[in-house]
Amino acid sequence: MNPTAVIAIHGGAGTILRTLMDPNAEQRYHASLTDVLTAGQKVLATGGSALDAVSEAVRLLEDNPLFNAGRGAVFTADGTHELDASIMDGSTLEAGAICCVTRVRNPILVARRVLEASEHVMFTGAGAEAFAVAQGFEPVDSSYFHTDARHKQWLLVRGQQRVMLDHDGATFSAPSPGGDAEEPTPHEPIDPNRKFGTVGAVALDQHGHVAAATSTGGVTNKQAGRVGDAPLIGAGCYADDATCAVSTTGSGEMFMRMVAAYDVAAQMAYRGVSLEEAAGDVVMNRLPRINGRGGLIAVDALGNVTLPFNTEGMYRGFARVGVAPVTAIYR
């Protein structure tokens, strides 16, 4: 008998802004995570594949301006948006990824099309956008990704000539009256200036197959052309039925140097350890050696789920078919 199908998601990790905790913002995040998990749960319950479930979950996270992927993505140093995404099928080891796209509404859907329709694994920039158009995806104007809250965040960070993660959230100015209540604010549970804003999903389906997907807008005020771990197979995303499916969120350069997602699978395969032990070692022991901060979500073919992180918080949750979703933000 196959283990119960399950999906897990994350919406970024970082520093909890305890001084400005806002119960309403907290509630919005829990509600959004629950909605996404419920949608992914429905895909699995009706016999959909793990690949279908993670595609749908990440698409919904990309469409939600509370998270830094798709609409609501952060600004580059040039005042633009550059989006990255990747997806992997654990049953075939096929993968697809795109990076540095500026007019793709849902990067994860194009990444999946790369997996399905191309002999290549990754496209970048103009080539990725041309592939998307050739596959029938309609480009959006770059203004689609703009939100006032992210723009204010960028102006503050640009003024201090740093990237997002080096900032003190207490200096972040309050939103103007009448602003969009659905957009992230400095009162969100995790400090927007100390947040690693990737989104991701992992799933196990009724057939015993796993899949993973990851998407991001990067870090505020990043240099144009910078690519982090999110679209890199093995660093920000990995899936293999023989071991596990992993999606990461954190200081991308460190996750790249540690090949963090694959390391979880490799430890299971070569050391023979459990999913929880492998993921815990990567997040709590290996990454901190090079000041790697963040977390990951992972599921194995037995239905085990783990969501470790070494920051103060991580937007996360999981849902087994037939069981109410569980969401969390803090430790």
Active site residues: 198
Tokens encoding 21: 């905790």
317 is in an annotated binding site: no
Is 12 labeled as ligand-binding? Answer: no
Contacts of 158 (CB under 8 A, 6+ apart): 77, 221
- The answer to the question of whether 11 is labelled as a binding residue is no
Residue 245 contacts residue 203 (beta carbons within 8 Å): yes
Q: Which of 305, 318, 220, 314 has the alpha carbon at shortest distance from 15?
A: 314
Do residues 214 and 230 touch, judged by C-beta distance below 8 A?
yes
The answer to the question of whether 322 is labelled as a binding residue is no
Cα–Cα distances (Å) from 83 to 23, 41, 298, in that order, read 30, 26, 23
CB-based contacts of 189: which residues, under 8 Å, 6+ apart? Answer: 16, 17, 21, 22, 25, 26, 29, 313, 315, 329, 330
Residue 86 marked in a binding site: no
The one-character DSSP state at 229 is: S
Task: Please state, in angstroms and rounded to a whole number, the distance separating the CA atoms of residues 263 and 250.
Answer: 15
Instruction: Establish whether 281 is an annotated binding residue.
Output: no
What are the binding residues for substrate? 226-229, 249-252
List the binding residues. 226-229, 249-252
